[in-house]
Structure 1
Amino acid sequence: MNKIPLSLATLTLIFSAGASMAADNSCEQVHFAEVGWTDITATTALTTEVLEGLGYGTKVDTVSVPIAYSGMKHGDFDVFLGNWMPTMASISDPYVERGQVERLKVNLAGAKYTLAVPQYVYDAGVTSLADLAEHSERFESNIHGIEAGNDGNQMIQQIIDDDAFGLGDWKLVDSSEAGMLAELKARVPNEQWMVFLGWEPHPMNTNFDMAYLDGTDDYFGPNFGGATIYTNTRAGYAEACSNVGALLDNLSFTLEMENQLMAAIMDGGEDPRDAARAYLKANPEVLNVWLDGVTTLDGEPALPAVMQALGIEHAAG
């Protein structure tokens, strides 16, 4: 039997298949950066539940925002679901503009992120950033932020550095999401004054009677720091790991969804993965959208595999 010489097209297909298999092997575990904010903890938990149902391994590391971006640049992290824009622009944009990180798509719209006070402080006349300085004693000249290095903290520090509205001698109190809210919880019963970094989605909006301050547009943006949250990946990841990329491109969340999950985690004390699994079992219809055009790691249909992994008996409606 004569040997048939391989055509250039055939060789190209062979090499392409080999490259694809190599990419698939490198994509078997998805490494997430997570920054300790309950909303991103919740969305990361949802995504890891789905990925593991598809047969992927997952790893989640909690780091600061700067470390998340440095890690994506150096290939230490694959995915970050918490790119709050425009407030995170000063940190994320340089990486995106240099092509070291890719901003894939919006995964949540309608969020907000700016300074807030308890409602009783607002009712006492502190409705704007411009009202803080005259009450410096009652606020102890402190603005309470979250973890060091966070973009919101950076904006608070910029307000202080600019001596905006006479706040140049105020102090940023670095803490954490949990630490800041614990301080707020301790102050509210006695109506002690406090100005802090607030955002939605978050159960704080229903757990506390609170109000957002005007006058922060130059730092946090209009509409009370109106924010859009994007999915980010390390450069080239969505193309190299195209099946995971398809899932990431389909992922979208809602304020109601995140508030519900965050309340289960923060108020109900549920493990984030348990809360995510319970949400997906109660709302399986989201899987129809998220898994469109997606397969399991082995190339099998995605929806039945994920439903079986979650213990969902009937087809999502």
Structure 2
Amino acid sequence: MLLFIALDGVGASTAGASEEVSCLRPRLADVGWTDITITTSLTSQLLEGLGYEPQVQMLGTDIIYRAMKNGEIDIFLGTWLPGLREVSAPYYADGSIETVRTNLTGAKFTLAVPTYVRDAGVHSFNDLSKYKEMFGGKIYGLEPGGNQPIEEMIKKDAFDLGGWDLVESSEAGMLSQVQKAVSSKGWIVFLGWEPHPMNRMYEISYLSGGDTYYGKDYGAAIVNTDVRRGFAIACPNVGALLNNLKFDVEMESELMEAVLNGGILPPDAVRSGCKSTRNGSRKH
């Protein structure tokens, strides 16, 4: 398995130089989505290689931003936009979190259905209400804090979805419902995204028409690396690493495949695929 991340420009220095003591143990948040678990694990291992002792906490997105504002979390590599725009916006607005850089482009995040459901007539958000009975009036999402656009659609009765229910669960819980539906050719509408092995595991189709809530081009998305206010200045070496660290869709998809379908733990998947080079990049 050969994957690629790029460290643009000059990398970070070893731990300790020109940094506060607290910088030696950077606190990273992991939301529990497989892609973010992998990028967080990869970043943690890079930090360990530089002499740091990163601490990772598993938290919901709504809690993560609040913890960053309160100074309890330093780093979050998983701000998907526009999907997490509503939950993150107040913290950007008051300056309590800061974006270091966009770490992933070419991503996708919006509502999806199995392709056989699309072939039956569901092509866009506007088509959902016509088949409410077939869907059981349910939209399957992620854990609380990751479904703000769906909540807003239901609240505003956008696309005639006012009477629908949002089913919140973990990534694994949501995908188990997808698997159950697909195995019996049942109807289901759920949050889909790329990079993710679901795009290889199932024949799924992303819905059009959700530009206001999930962005143009079928939910075209980016992922940002965010830090608590002042962290990058207080911890310039860690900030330099984060500023230079970016990922790509192919890399994340392959590592996620190894974790979700190969039964490999994320840290082991990262380690087994990692090969350092001396030309300003790392290959995985």
Q: TM-score, normalised by structure 1?
A: 0.81
Instruction: Say if 1:39 and 1:258, in contact at 8 Å, map to a contact too.
Output: yes
Could you tell me which residue of structure 2 aligns to residue 289 of structure 1?
280
1:82 paired to 2:73: no
**Superposition map of 1:181-196 within 5 A:** 181-196=175-190
Higher strand residue share = 2
Deviations 1:97-121 (A, max 9, x none): 2221111101000111100000100
Mapped to 2, the partners of 1:54 and 1:218 lie a distance apart of: 42
Structure 2 runs not aligned, ≥5 long? 1-15
Could you tell me which residue of structure 2 aligns to residue 129 of structure 1?
125
Distance 1:229 1:119, change over 3 A: same
Counterpart of 1:178 (choices 149, 172, 182) is 172
* Backbone CA RMSD of aligned residues: 1.6
Instruction: Say if 1:247 and 1:290, in contact at 8 Å, map to a contact too.
Output: no
Q: How many residue pairs were aligned? A: 268
Instruction: Say if 2:259 and 2:265, in contact at 8 Å, map to a contact too.
Output: yes
Instruction: Say if 1:30 and 1:58, in contact at 8 Å, map to a contact too.
Output: yes
Q: Residue 267 of structure 1: CA displacement?
A: 0.9
Counterpart of 1:38 (choices 29, 34, 37) is 34
Q: Quick check: which has more Rg, 1 or 2?
A: 1
Deviations 1:48-77 (A, max 9, x none): 111111111011111011111111111111
**Superposition map of 1:1-317 within 5 A:** 23-150=19-146, 153-281=147-275, 284-285=276-277, 288-289=279-280
Mapped to 2, the partners of 1:21 and 1:190 lie a distance apart of: 58
Q: TM-score, normalised by structure 2?
A: 0.90
Structure with greater contact order relative to length (CA < 8 Å, sep ≥ 6): 2
Higher helix residue share = 1
Instruction: Say if 1:251 and 1:290, in contact at 8 Å, map to a contact too.
Output: no
Q: Residue 288 of structure 1: CA displacement?
A: 4.3
Q: Residue 134 of structure 1: CA displacement?
A: 1.4
State, as a whole percentage, how many aligned pairs show the same letter. 49
Q: What SS does the aligned partner of 1:57 have?
A: coil
Deviations 1:16-39 (A, max 9, x none): xxxx87833121111101101111
Runs of 4+ in 1 over 4 A off after TM superposition: none
Deviations 1:215-234 (A, max 9, x none): 11111111112111111011
